[in-house]
Structure 1
Amino acid sequence: MPSPATPAALPAARRYHEIDAARGLMLVLMTLTHVPTMLTDPVGQPFGFVSAAEGFVLLSAFVCGLVYGRIGYAKGVDAMQQAFWRRAVTLYMSQAALLLFLFTVITALALKVHLQSPGARELILYYLAHPREAFAFALALVYQPALLDILPMYILFMLMSPWVMAWAFRHGWRLPLALSALGWLAAQLDATPWLYATVMQGWLKVPVPYAETGSFDTLAWQALWFGGLALGAGRSAPGARPIALPAPWVRTAVAVAAAGLLWRHLGPGGQAPFADHHALNTLLFDKWRLAPLRVLDLVAIGIVALHYGPAWLARLPRMTWLETMGSASLSVFCTHLVAVLLVQALWGGDHHVRPWWGDVLMLAAVFGAMYAVAWAVQRHERRSGKRRGTCPTPRHAPAAGH
């Protein structure tokens, strides 16, 4: 690793309000997607064939590279690794709390005779059939019930990141990113189910079926994470220069992003690009495996945001309510999951069971709770900072971060 840079050699630390706002927006879009209402389908993937999950992972990885990279350059690899691992422990405790809520409160609601909700029961079918195995392997992050499969992925990435960044500090990012790209390519060839069957079920005799290990293909999504991590770490490096995008890249990105946006909203399939052609949808646009055209659309949107975003933001008023939620994203993310689980248990996954005004009231309650939690977290951090005699600046962390 390069010798620790002096504070003057490092890029000036500053608050990235725009990233907080973007993460807050991703939380809003996730909530609208997960809470079954009349807005679920129209608002899903609003910018093209890219969901809030991809944006959240990319932003979170970028912030991790930025923040923990700065720690690595200023204090050394050991301090950086400890910061990563402390964060991973926080994420794990959050996941454990969500699992406990699912296996107690939600299970009790789902099993009541007058609340026989298919939506909630589908989330816990494996747990109901194999409670002991499900509980043990859920804590081991192998069994991942639907909706609770995001934090385990983050925990794994947080545990891997300090080793990858330590290597990159010494030798550069080419090898880690090349290996990451190979992992993504292997995922497109269905390597993940084969690896799970061979290693986890064959060698380790894990009884959990592959279908119960979460929707996200970790071998594919790690490429998005480490790409964002490299970008963030590059911004924290001594002597980092602003990102300059060649004009042909920008023009191509605008064309691709515009095509994706129009295709998503005017095409015959809506969120399914090729309508009923499931094989093509899976091969080219699958979300869980980050299929090639989905990645292309995401990269194009990212380039457009990098190039034009600062000018757009300069003309818009700051959305402090989004910044507040984005700066407390772990707490807000968990709150949104609790709300979604309760809605599934009480009403199921069919948004037709409520009139439009019922959806409005429910969303108002959910977003009100999310903002209240974010406000309380921010207030707590400010008070803690005053007691320590420091200027409190809410920390940046991954989606599963603050």
Structure 2
Amino acid sequence: MSSDANRIDKRKRRDHRVDALRGLALLMMLTDHVYSDWLNRLTMRNFGFADAADIFVLLAGYASYLAYGRLIMRPPPAGGWRVAIHRIVTRCVRLYLFQLILLFFYIALTRLWRLRWDVPIDFLEPELSHGFDWFLDVVTLQALPDMVNILPIYILFLLSFPLMFWLLRRSPYLLLAGSFILWALVNLDPAINLPNVIDSDGWYFDPFAWQFIFAIGVLLAFMVHRLGGNLTISGRLRALCVAVLIIGVIECFPYQLYHLPDLRLFHLRALADKSSLGPLRIMDVLAIFILVQSSSWCTRFASSSPGQILAVMGRHSLEVFCLGTVLDLIIRLGMATFGTHWPLQLVSNLVGFLCVYGLAVWLDHHKYEAALMEGKSRAEISGGDGASARQDG
């Protein structure tokens, strides 16, 4: 085989690392949202400054570039600004409908559960626990309770993507500088936020701060795409990334849960605030992404059977996230009513994983069958360069 053919074949072989990393983030979110789940002790929030939400938003920006940025660069009628903006708006409408379904399910199930078991449950804020005054606040995204507050920021980021891409086309530094200044303003004054009627501090994920990690994802996709799908980093940068992660483990490990002496050296948690996206969170998630995207071992793992279990969930992240949120609420209600005994936790975790994985497999099969009906070849369906260009988080 000629060198040109080798390069073509390499481009057609799909890189599943981003999909697998996003699938892993979804699984961690599934357990992180159930505060009594013992698996919480094993997720990345106990071993670093960032958590699964940071990865989720970073990769949303990454995939948005692949899905819409490259679409804008295609000539009409198959691409261009009009086609890309139409798809972005369509996606945002879908996200909004999913958000409303989650919110209504959240409110209805919690109320019905209280009536059936008559147990004190503090999952639902007082503003949503009775009457119908909350309806307008819910449909206008001014009432965002715990667990169902991340899709709205993604809607805002997608709507702002055309502006981000316009800045990127003029200069990547222009996008980076503009996004950084907005993030810095929020960290100087946390009052810069959108209103949330159930939290006087505003949206838990402050969109004016979290847009920075989304924009970084867009910039990373731009860089990786220009480099042919791989990051090539120096030994010094790799060592720096490893050092950042090691410091994160030392500073964030829950020593008290294991009755161990506290080994923290600097007590840096104040620089990792989640709502305003503290700087150490950005460093942590960037170190993870750089190491994964420059690792040949991660490439092999993502193509292996365990890696594909994660990747198939990452390819259908919206549906998997929404089902996971529903399951989280049911599990939290169940544990609040029947206790947190380990058999219940074991069954809940196993059933939760099987449900989200089963949904992802079914969606993948459905997508594959639909593509075959459109006349696409097996190579076209399974090919790609980097993360799925059709999946935007």
The two structures have a TM-score, normalised by structure 2, of 0.83
Matching residue within 332, 343, 363 for 1:377:
363
Q: Kindly indicate whether residue 94 of structure 2 is the aligned counterpart of residue 90 of structure 1.
A: yes
Structure 1's 248 and 43: CA in aligned 2 closer, same or farther, altered over 3 A? closer
Question: Which residue number in structure 2 is paired with residue 304 of structure 1?
Answer: 291
Q: State whether residues 230 and 293 of structure 2, in contact with CA within 8 Å, keep that contact through their aligned partners in structure 1.
A: no
Alignment RMSD, CA only? Answer: 3.2
Gaps of 5+ in 2: 1-6, 383-387
Question: Which residue number in structure 1 is paired with residue 325 of structure 2?
Answer: 337
Rounded to whole Å, the distance in 2 between the matches of 1:15 and 1:218 is 32
Q: State whether residues 46 and 254 of structure 2, in contact with CA within 8 Å, keep that contact through their aligned partners in structure 1.
A: no
Rounded to whole Å, the distance in 2 between the matches of 1:13 and 1:284 is 42
Question: Which residue number in structure 2 is paired with residue 364 of structure 1?
Answer: 350
1:2-401 equivalence runs, <5 A: 12=11, 15-35=14-34, 36-74=36-74, 75-110=79-114, 112=115, 114-118=117-121, 121-128=122-129, 131-132=132-133, 134-169=134-169, 171-191=170-190, 193-194=191-192, 196=194, 208=197, 210-211=199-200, 213-236=202-225, 242-265=230-253, 283-307=270-294, 309-314=295-300, 317-319=304-306, 320-348=308-336, 353-391=339-377, 392=381, 396-398=390-392, 401=393
Q: Look up the SS of the partner of 2:253 in the other structure.
A: helix
Rounded to whole Å, the distance in 1 between the matches of 2:31 and 2:57 is 18
- How big is the shift at 1:267? 5.3
Q: Look up the SS of the partner of 1:211 in the other structure.
A: coil
- How big is the shift at 1:253? 1.8
Q: State whether residues 67 and 236 of structure 1, in contact with CA within 8 Å, keep that contact through their aligned partners in structure 2.
A: no
Rounded to whole Å, the distance in 1 between the matches of 2:144 and 2:268 is 25
Question: Which residue number in structure 2 is paired with residue 4 of structure 1?
Answer: none
- How big is the shift at 1:155? 0.6
Q: State whether residues 61 and 217 of structure 2, in contact with CA within 8 Å, keep that contact through their aligned partners in structure 1.
A: yes
Question: Which residue number in structure 1 is paired with residue 385 of structure 2?
Answer: none
Amino acid at match of 1:306: Q
Return 217-226 or 387-396, whichever deviates more. 387-396
Gaps of 5+ in 1: 1-7, 201-206
Aligned residue pairs total: 368
Q: Look up the SS of the partner of 1:122 in the other structure.
A: coil
- How big is the shift at 1:395? 5.4
Amino acid at match of 1:158: L
Amino acid at match of 2:96: Y
Q: State whether residues 186 and 192 of structure 2, in contact with CA within 8 Å, keep that contact through their aligned partners in structure 1.
A: no
Return 43-52 or 363-372, whichever deviates more. 43-52
- How big is the shift at 1:71? 0.9
- How big is the shift at 1:138? 1.6
Q: State whether residues 65 and 231 of structure 1, in contact with CA within 8 Å, keep that contact through their aligned partners in structure 2.
A: no
Q: State whether residues 65 and 232 of structure 1, in contact with CA within 8 Å, keep that contact through their aligned partners in structure 2.
A: yes
Rounded to whole Å, the distance in 2 between the matches of 1:387 and 1:301 is 39
Amino acid at match of 1:225: F
Rounded to whole Å, the distance in 1 between the matches of 2:257 and 2:19 is 32
Rounded to whole Å, the distance in 2 between the matches of 1:43 and 1:173 is 33
Structure 1's 211 and 251: CA in aligned 2 closer, same or farther, altered over 3 A? same
Rounded to whole Å, the distance in 2 between the matches of 1:268 and 1:297 is 22
Per-residue Cα deviation, 1:166-204 (whole angstroms, up to 9, x for no partner) = 3322x122222211101111121234x2554xxx6xxxx
Rounded to whole Å, the distance in 1 between the matches of 2:204 and 2:217 is 21
Q: Look up the SS of the partner of 2:200 in the other structure.
A: helix
Return 383-392 or 64-73, whichever deviates more. 383-392
Amino acid at match of 1:358: L
Amino acid at match of 1:177: L
Question: Which residue number in structure 2 is paired with residue 204 of structure 1?
Answer: none
- How big is the shift at 1:157? 0.4
Q: State whether residues 127 and 198 of structure 2, in contact with CA within 8 Å, keep that contact through their aligned partners in structure 1.
A: no
Rounded to whole Å, the distance in 2 between the matches of 1:45 and 1:142 is 28
Structure 1's 219 and 257: CA in aligned 2 closer, same or farther, altered over 3 A? same
Structure 1's 292 and 275: CA in aligned 2 closer, same or farther, altered over 3 A? farther
The two structures have a TM-score, normalised by structure 1, of 0.81
Q: State whether residues 84 and 158 of structure 1, in contact with CA within 8 Å, keep that contact through their aligned partners in structure 2.
A: yes
Rounded to whole Å, the distance in 2 between the matches of 1:89 and 1:80 is 14
Rounded to whole Å, the distance in 1 between the matches of 2:206 and 2:149 is 10
Q: State whether residues 117 and 346 of structure 1, in contact with CA within 8 Å, keep that contact through their aligned partners in structure 2.
A: no
Q: Look up the SS of the partner of 2:50 in the other structure.
A: coil
- How big is the shift at 1:25? 0.8
- How big is the shift at 1:128? 2.3
